[in-house]
Amino acid sequence: MRKLIISAAIITAFISLSATNQHKKGWVSLFDGKTLDGWKVGTNASSFSVVDGSIMVNGNVAHLFYDGPVQQHDFKNFEFKADVMTMPGSNSGIYFHTLYQESSWPKKGYEVQVNNSHTDWRRTGSLYAIQDVREVYVKDSVWYTERIKVKGKHISVFINNKQVVDYTEPEEVKRDKGMEGRLISSGTFALQGHDPKSKVFYKNIMVKVLPD
């Protein structure tokens, strides 16, 4: 009987491990559509709220960091996607390979721009200040999908499945002062609250972990 119990436990553990590994191969949600559970923000936390199944970003400068259990919120190679809608004149961004900060603009990681009509000329999809996009591919007040893929030193950004950034970080790259942390490493994701006049919505926030 004891052998049967041990065997059953081993089989159960194997099935559970297989399911976990299979789960990691697919898309995993980072946002439950109801709360900000699994996300963390420091100053100006009121800039983020959940409205009609989406994260609404509107208020003073703030950043909402993923701090949940998926991959222990530490991602290296991945695909990330979110449905996004900007209101006219709005600016926001999606950071990756970043690290929680209590305030100010994240020093670590890259930013992918969310901006279809703000005064900043760097438009949606830009790998901010590294490989910028001037063209406007989507309109305000309309949902679109923004997808980021990182594999090794290669970064791709897609807007509604159209690739707008194709960048490979050079070996031993040196960044300008103030941008030293814009490097491939690993880390979490963050959504940017840019200014009180900007209003942006995010939903269906998903990640797919890629093998090293």
Q: What residues contact 90, with CB distance under 8 A and at least 6 apart?
A: 114, 115, 116, 117, 118, 140, 194, 197, 198, 199, 200
Grouping H, G, I as helix, E, B as strand and the rest as coil, residue 140 is coil
Residue 8 is predicted with a pLDDT of 45
| 24 belongs to a structural domain | no
The mean per-residue pLDDT over the stretch 169-189 comes to 95
Q: What is the DSSP letter of 25?
A: T
Report CA 196 to chain centroid distance, whole Å. Answer: 21
> What is the average per-residue pLDDT within 127-155?
98
Judged against a pLDDT cut of 80, whether residue 178 lies above it is answered with yes
Asked, for residue 20, whether it belongs to a domain, the answer is: no
CATH number, residue 60: 2.60.120.560
Q: Give me the pLDDT at residue 151, please.
A: 98
pLDDT in tens, 78-107: 999 999 999 999 999 999 999 999 999 999
Domain assignment present for residue 19? The answer is no
Alpha carbon separation from 110 to 32, 47, 78, 189 (Å, rounded): 25, 21, 14, 10
- What is the domain extent for residue 91? 29-209
Residue 11 placed within a domain:
no
For residue 190, tell me if it sits in a domain. yes
> How many domains would you assign to the chain?
1
Classify residue 16: in a domain, yes or no. no
